[in-house]
Amino acid sequence: MSLAVKWRLLLGALDRHAIVNGLLACLFATTAPLSILLASARQGGLDTSLVSSWIFAAYGIGGALTVPLALYYRQPLGMGWSIPAAALVGPAFAQFAFSDIVGAYVVTALLLLALGLTRTVSLLMRAIPLPVMMAMTAGVFLPFGINVLHGLVDMPITTSAMSLAFLATPRLPGVGQKIPPVLTALAAGLAAMAFEASVPPAAAIDHVLAHPLLLLPTFSWPALVALVLPLSVTVIGIHNPQGFAVLRQTGHAPPVDVVTDACGLASVPMALLGCGPACLTGPANAIIVSSGDPRRHYAAALVFGMAMLVFGLFAPVAVELAASLPAELIAVLGGLALLPVLRSTFVAAFSGGRFTFGALVAFVTATSGIALFSVGAAFWALIFGTAASLAFEHKDFRQAAGTQ
């Protein structure tokens, strides 16, 4: 296939769904997750230059990794940074120097790379029933949907306007099937906020471009023992399974081991710039594939990746712009965008007749929000759900093996 043909195909795939979903996924990724990163940085007392470097690595490298993967595999492989890893590192600042944490980041990256090269992750992924994975994903995404209801309390006028626009768009004669509902929801939300004059002015910006800092790691056994396994679990046990499950539900076949290798490779420079490991995003990919032709979803990932890269390069400016929008508005918008995905995950988890008890255990565990041994609920949802299916649904395993 010639380069000219590839360009025509790419331009043809950049439809309204791809552009809107890609930008919305980036908007989602650069608001609430960013607040977690900033909160962890404050726990460590990091200065603005280190925080800027962290943000550049998280978003810039994540975006730069997304583009070639999406182009080569023609799949919506939206890459980012591990949110649970950022939350995990915050309390670690009380015990370890930042250089020790960077050393743990580097070892985690090498471990992820080894797991991908040995194809260990593929074996683990095949051992977990798909309904259990989808139930875990539903449990993780459920709070995002509930955010819409919380928005009715926090921002009743804005949330009502957004919800009505989202629900009414598909029924608009002539254009209902051409305009993504999340686009009209965003427009209605901004209009309602302008009417209420509730948009705060952006603060003055001292620097336009980010200034990445190369950090030298130190390797402390206490830090490695305390952080490497939990950091690795956030990628292979929490984020990546969510992303894989979302993509499979929409008909894609993500290259599990390649993605794991990519996470490991990208995590090395991210670590040296002060950021935790790379991962395949869950909620952002769910927004990317929330509408449009699945064959064009990769174009939405390209838009997402380019927007993330720009965000990383212009981190000081982008942070102020994101901070100018209330977190409640972004939460409601993300919740509305994820409602169709949430519905499909419930259907995939509980309508097939197999592994339903394991799926139920996984869903309950994921929604509980428990953290055992510094590992989040999504990982334990996979463990407890699979264990429940092994104990009570062993016939389903035999039937599933017979159909392969």
Q: What is the three-state SS of 169-198?
A: HHHCCCCCCCCCHHHHHHHHHHHHHHHHCC
pLDDT tens by residue, 142-197: 888 898 899 888 888 999 999 999 888 888 776 656 677 877 888 898 888 877 66
pLDDT tens by residue, 86-141: 877 888 888 889 999 999 999 999 998 888 888 777 677 677 888 888 888 788 87
pLDDT at 270 over 90: yes
pLDDT tens by residue, 5-39: 455 666 666 788 888 889 888 888 887 677 778 77
Whole-number pLDDT of residue 18? 87
Whether 226 maps to a domain, the answer reads yes
> At 99, which amino acid appears?
S
SS3 45: coil
Whether 143 maps to a domain, the answer reads yes
Whether 325 maps to a domain, the answer reads yes
> At 125, which amino acid appears?
M
Query: Which domain does 121 fall in, by range?
Result: 3-155+198-341
Contact 288, 22 (CB under 8 A): yes
* Residue 153: DSSP 8-state: H
Distance CA 151, CA 332 (A): 6
Q: How confident is the model at residue 303 (pLDDT cuts 50, 70, 90)?
A: very high
Helix axes 256-272, 98-117, angle to 10 degrees: 160
Whether 85 maps to a domain, the answer reads yes
Whether 283 maps to a domain, the answer reads yes
Phi, psi of 176 (to 5 degrees): -60, -35
Number of domains in the chain: 1
Q: What is the mean pLDDT of the chain?
A: 83
Whether 53 maps to a domain, the answer reads yes
Whole-number pLDDT of residue 366? 87
Give the C-alpha distances (Å, rounded to integers) separating 263 from 113, 115, 153, 234.
7, 11, 39, 12
pLDDT tens by residue, 206-247: 667 878 889 999 998 888 888 887 788 778 877 888 889 889
Whole-number pLDDT of residue 60? 94
| Listed residue (213, 280, 207, 283) closest to 57, CA to CA | 213
Q: How confident is the model at residue 70 (pLDDT cuts 50, 70, 90)?
A: very high
Whether 396 maps to a domain, the answer reads no
| Listed residue (235, 211, 227, 261) closest to 99, CA to CA | 227
pLDDT tens by residue, 344-389: 889 888 987 889 999 999 999 989 888 787 676 777 888 899 999 9
The two three-digit tokens of residue 101, written as one number: 């944490």
The two three-digit tokens of residue 349, written as one number: 């988890």
Whether 275 maps to a domain, the answer reads yes
Whole-number pLDDT of residue 369? 81
Give the C-alpha distances (Å, rounded to integers) separating 167 from 16, 80, 186, 193, 337.
18, 30, 13, 19, 11
Distance CA 325, CA 340 (A): 24
Strands of 31-124, DSSP E: 79-81
Q: How confident is the model at residue 201 (pLDDT cuts 50, 70, 90)?
A: low
pTM of the predicted structure, to 2 decimals: 0.73
